[in-house]
Structure formats: structure tokens, C-alpha cells
Structure 1
Amino acid sequence: MAHVDDKLGNAGEMLQNVVAWPLGILFKLLDLPISAIQRLIGIRRMPWFFLLPNLAFFGLFVILPLLMNLAYSVTGGTQLFLQDRPITGTEQYRFLFDCGSYADPLTCREDRFWKGIFNTSIFIFFQVSFMVLFSLITALVLNREIRARGFWRAVFFFPVLLSPVVVALIWKWILLRDGILNAFLVSIGLDRILFFVSPEWAMFWAVFVSIWAHLGFYTLILLAGLQAIQPDLYEAAEMDGTSKERVFFRITLPLLWPNMLVVIVLALIKGVQVFDEVYVLTGGGPGTATQFIVQYIYNTAFTNQVQNFGLASAASMVLGVVLFILTLTQLAATRRRDNG
């Protein structure tokens, strides 16, 4: 037996040497230019050398488009290239915000923009509220000792792995006039429901599908927060005879609040940016009942008969300011959670 072990050990050592030899040569070849660059610029500047590819990528695909978008927002006309577009200053922004009453989109010159904001606000209110509620309930259930807990955690997280377009196509297939849901309604003697004809049903399913698709991600954040709470606190509360409701409101909820704040802000950011899944599901209809602000920007710039790049850029800059404020809030919430 010892003889066999020695042979296996020798074979493993030979295999390690065979693998290590070409890797050693590769590392030496890579070390030559790195050492030369280090001698040229100095060891203190080496971090910038390694950061340069990422900075170049970020500048090319983030900073440059942002600057171009800002430039387009202060120009007019229908031409594509900036050199062919006249500078109009803040005219596009004044056009967007020219309203008799901001509470009534019909009193605005660009009523579609404010209709998109109005629809987005309704969507965010219901989607974020129910998302946080259902995520909390799901996290509390999945944190308990239940049978096949790992399986159920995977089931709730699985929709997050799907593309939003795939999610929308699946639910559109279910909700069509001759879809699965209507087939079931007919089978039990009920009438078909035209879900995408009624504005109320269209908004309901837009909210529902969004919650279904992203619930697992926010549940995971809250589940991590629940597991970070010390079990000793619950044991002490149980020894004192504290009721479950009091334990939840006095221990669980306050300690989980930093995670919930992160969930709320992330859900707000995601809600403001909603586009692909709703666009595939309802197309913004019926009419403009589910046309949100991002779809307004997309339609204004690309699908309308007259492509108004300046107006779309101005609207996207307004949206960018909102997202920037929400991002700062999210960073502050995360920093508070880490320091707390």
C-alpha cells in the first residue's frame, strides 16, 4: 500500500512540474515589460498603469456619451451630427418644463414627457411598496427552519437570472387573449379578459411582472440582513416572554432597517429606469397608459417620425439628475449600514 502511495505521489509531483514549467516561462515573459515600465515611470505610478485600461473604457463608454448627451440637449434641429445642429441653449429644457400645472400633464406643451413622469410615479409607488413588503415577508419565511429551505431560496432567486425581455415574453404569452390565463378562465366558465386593452390591467401587470422578476434580488439583501442579527437577542427576548410581534418591531425591524433602506433606494432607481420588460410586455399601451419616462426618451429620439435628439437628450439629462440624487442616497445608506 505504501508503494502505491509513493507512486501516486511521484505522479502528482511530475504533473505539477509539467504544469508549472510553462506557467513559469509565461510569468517571466510577462514580467519583462512590467519591470521595464516600472523602471520607467517609478513604482509609485504603477497603480495608474493598471487602472489606465479601466479608466479608458469608462471614459470612452460613460464620460464621452454623457458629454455628447449634454451637448445634444442644448442644440436643435433634426440633423444627427453635432456640427449640423444649431445651438439653442436651454430652449429644450424650457420646452419640457413649460406647463400650466405640473399636476396635470395635459396643460404642458410636451404632455407626453409629463405623462411619462406621471406613469413612472404611479409605477414606482406601487412597485416599490409591494416589492419591499413581499421581499420582507419572503425573507422572513426563508430565514426560518423550513423543509427544503435551500430549494425555495433558489426558486425565488431564479427569475433574477432571466433576461427582462425573456420574462416579459413569458408573461405576455400567458396574458394574451388566447394565452394560458384566459384559457384557464374559459375552462372554468368565465369570460376572457383583454389585459392589454384596459389601462388599469396593463399597469397592474406591469407592476406585477416587475415584482416577480426582481423579488429574489431584494429578498437576498434582506435575508443577509436577517442572518446578521445575533441569535442571542432572540434567545434573550424568548426568555423574557416577549411576544413575537414585539420581537419583530423592537428587534428585527430596527436592526434590519439599514438593509431595508438599501432595498428601497435600489428599487427606486430600478423603477425610474424601467423600460425593457414593460416595453416588450405592453409596448407602452394601451395608448400611453404604460409609457414610462425612459420609453418617452427612446421614442422621441428613435421611433417617432420626426426624431428629436435634442429634446430626448434634455429629458435624459433630467432623468440623470434624478438618478444621481438617488445614487447618492443609496451610497449614504450603504455607508450608514457599514458604519452601524
Structure 2
Amino acid sequence: MASGTISTILGSAAALPARAVEPVWKWLQKRVGVKRLPWVFLTPNMLSVLCFSLLPVFINIYYSLTGSDNLYLQDRPYVGSENYATLLACQNYLDPATCSRDLFWRALGNLLMFVPLQVIFMMAVALLTAIALNGKIRARGFFRGVFFFPVMLSPVVVALTWQWILQRNGILNGILGFFGFERYTWLADSHWAFFWAIFVTVWAHSGFFMIILLAGLQSIPRDVYEAAKMDRASPWRVFYRITVPLLKPVLLVVFILAVIRSVQTFDEIYVLTGGGPGSATMLLVQYIYETGFATQPRNYGLAAAASLMLGAALLVFTLVQMKLSGGKK
């Protein structure tokens, strides 16, 4: 009896805020009408999108069309497409040394190598991990948490941890030295630095895509696998005849998310290698950051132009993906 009274009191207390604003909603409903009332609820969200998403894009476009190192818009002279022309000025696009902004083209070249390799390894690791953790294994929940744990870490923490492991007196060289191998400065070699940049980013983010693929695997009806088992289909045949076709929509989503995430990679590589040695691991986002904020004089217009070109490439890629996925439906 006492518990029922307490529940009634708590329910009445919870309803007080709704009753307090009820006159306001009635007044709004009379003023704007029932059909227009949803726009009242959408207005705060639309204003936040306008202020924090669309407005910065328009400001960035204006910066890309202006020059000088002045920060305030009124102090920046209009230069038109000069920043874009500067970025694209090259005698030979296959040789960054012949370009007026060679670091831009080196960063772009690194990005064109980094994205395919990272996405392929990311999807392969995520898919294999998801398939393994979808099976009947001991401590399955524990291992799912272990593989997802790196996703929850800060990118800076991830990069500093692996930098500590890979340094000359780090754990990796300590293990190699125990087996009689010589110590090696992994991050001072351009090829190894690029390899570790891919490895660390895959290690840090594959758990996120593993969870998505695991959800997709669990949505596949078990009856299909049981029928394949009755037909004595081999595991490989089950994989490419059943799992992959039924998982295609999820794989497409993972692919798009992985590509966008890969193109925007900055934190881990910047902390791990600083874009070096030289410019061996510098990607486009790092070039934009250093051009606009880290170097003197700060060239906001050039950084804005580079960022818009990157954004346009991602937009085209997304539209192509939407077209292809729409055609498949």
C-alpha cells in the first residue's frame, strides 16, 4: 500500500513539468496551427546546424577566395581562384618537386596510398574478427570487449603508447633484442613509418567496424547456415556463397565509413610520426593544419582551398556511393 502511494506521488511529481508548460503548447498550437507545430520543435536544431555546420562552410569558402595572413574577414583582400591555382600549379603532376606547393602533392600522394591500404586491412581485420567472435567460443563477451577497447581510447593516447613501443629503447626492440636481433629505429625509416601508421590506425579503429559487422552477421538467419551444413558445404563456400552476399549492405556501409575515416586521419599519425620522416607520412589533413595554423606566415586561404578540395572529393565519393547503392536496390 505504501509503495503504491509513493509511486503515485512520484508520478504526480514527474508530471508537474509537463503540466507547467501545457499552457505554452496550447498557445503555440493556436498561433501556428497543428501542421506547423513540428517546425517549432525543429527550429532549435536547425539553428544549431546553421550556426555550427553550414555557416563555417560558407566562411571557409570566403577564406579560400581571399589572401594575406590576416584573420579577420574585413582585412582579407579578394583574390578569386588564386589559392586554387597555386595548389594546382604543376609542371608534372607525377613529380611533386615540379609543383609550386610540393608538400600538398606529397600529402595527396601519401593519402592515395594510405587510404586503399588502410581500408583493405581495416575491413579484413574487422570482418575476420567479427566472424570469429560470432562463433561459439569461450569468453566471447570478454573478447568482444577486448577488441573494442582501443576504440574508446583517445587517439593521442593510442599514438603515444605505440610511439613508446616503437622507440629505439621500446618494448618491440626489447623483444627483438632478447632473440638476438639488432635494435631498429622504426619511425626513422620512411617505409616502416608508413607501415606503422597504417598498423596503428587499423589497430585503433577496427573494433568499431567489427561491432557493425558483428551486428550484420547476427541478423543473418541461422536457418540458412543449417541448410548449408546439411548440404555439407565447406566453410569457404559458406563464406562467399552465404555470408558475403547477405552481408553486402553492411559491408557497403562499413566501406564508406572506413574511407571517410581514413581520409580524415590526423591525430594518430601526427603524434606518432609528425608526418615524418621528412614528409613520408604526411597526409592531406595534416598539410591543411600546418598551412593554416602551424607555419609562419599562416596561409588561411590556401588551407581553406585545400580543405574544400578534400571536402568536394568526399562529396563526390558519397554521391557515387549513393547512386550505386540506390541502383542495387
**TM-score of Structure 1 vs Structure 2, range by shorter chain:** over 0.9
Aligned to 2:300: 309
How far 1:311 sits from its partner (Å)?
0.4
Q: Among 86, 92, 95, which residue is 2:77 paired with?
A: 86
Alignment of 1:1-340 (within 5 A): 10-329=1-320, 331=322
How far 1:335 sits from its partner (Å)?
6.1
* Secondary structure of the corresponding residue to residue 36 of structure 2: helix
Find the aligned partners of 2:164 and 2:316 in 1 and give their Cα distance: 37
Residue identity opposite 1:120 in structure 2: L
How far 1:121 sits from its partner (Å)?
1.3
- CA contact 1:96–1:315 (8 Å) conserved in 2: yes
Residue identity opposite 1:234 in structure 2: Y
| Cα shift readout 1:110-142 (whole Å, capped 9, x = no counterpart) | 111111111111111211111111111111111
| Alpha-carbon distance change, 168 to 236 in structure 1, aligned in 2, over 3 angstroms | same
How far 1:34 sits from its partner (Å)?
2.1
Residue identity opposite 1:124 in structure 2: V
| Cα shift readout 1:133-171 (whole Å, capped 9, x = no counterpart) | 111111111111111111111111111111212211211
Deviates more, 1:15-24 or 1:90-99: 15-24
Q: CA RMSD in A?
A: 1.7
Find the aligned partners of 1:172 and 1:80 in 2 and give their Cα distance: 35
Aligned to 1:7: none
Find the aligned partners of 2:32 and 2:119 in 1 and give their Cα distance: 50
How far 1:255 sits from its partner (Å)?
1.5
- CA contact 1:268–1:326 (8 Å) conserved in 2: no
Find the aligned partners of 2:8 and 2:324 in 1 and give their Cα distance: 51
How far 1:201 sits from its partner (Å)?
1.3
Percentage of matched positions with identical amino acids: 49
Residue identity opposite 1:176 in structure 2: Q
The gaps in structure 2 that reach 5 residues or longer are: none
Residue identity opposite 1:231 in structure 2: R
Where does structure 1 differ by over 4 angstroms across 4 or more consecutive aligned residues?
A: 329-337
| Alpha-carbon distance change, 235 to 336 in structure 1, aligned in 2, over 3 angstroms | farther
- CA contact 1:262–1:334 (8 Å) conserved in 2: no
| Alpha-carbon distance change, 112 to 80 in structure 1, aligned in 2, over 3 angstroms | same
- CA contact 1:75–1:86 (8 Å) conserved in 2: yes
How far 1:331 sits from its partner (Å)?
4.7
Deviates more, 1:20-29 or 1:285-294: 20-29
Find the aligned partners of 1:278 and 1:259 in 2 and give their Cα distance: 28
Find the aligned partners of 1:335 and 1:20 in 2 and give their Cα distance: 47
* Secondary structure of the corresponding residue to residue 67 of structure 2: coil
Aligned length: 329
How far 1:189 sits from its partner (Å)?
2.9
Find the aligned partners of 2:117 and 2:167 in 1 and give their Cα distance: 23
| Cα shift readout 1:48-75 (whole Å, capped 9, x = no counterpart) | 1111111111111111100000001011
Aligned to 1:5: none
TM-score normalised per structure 2: 0.95
How far 1:20 sits from its partner (Å)?
2.1
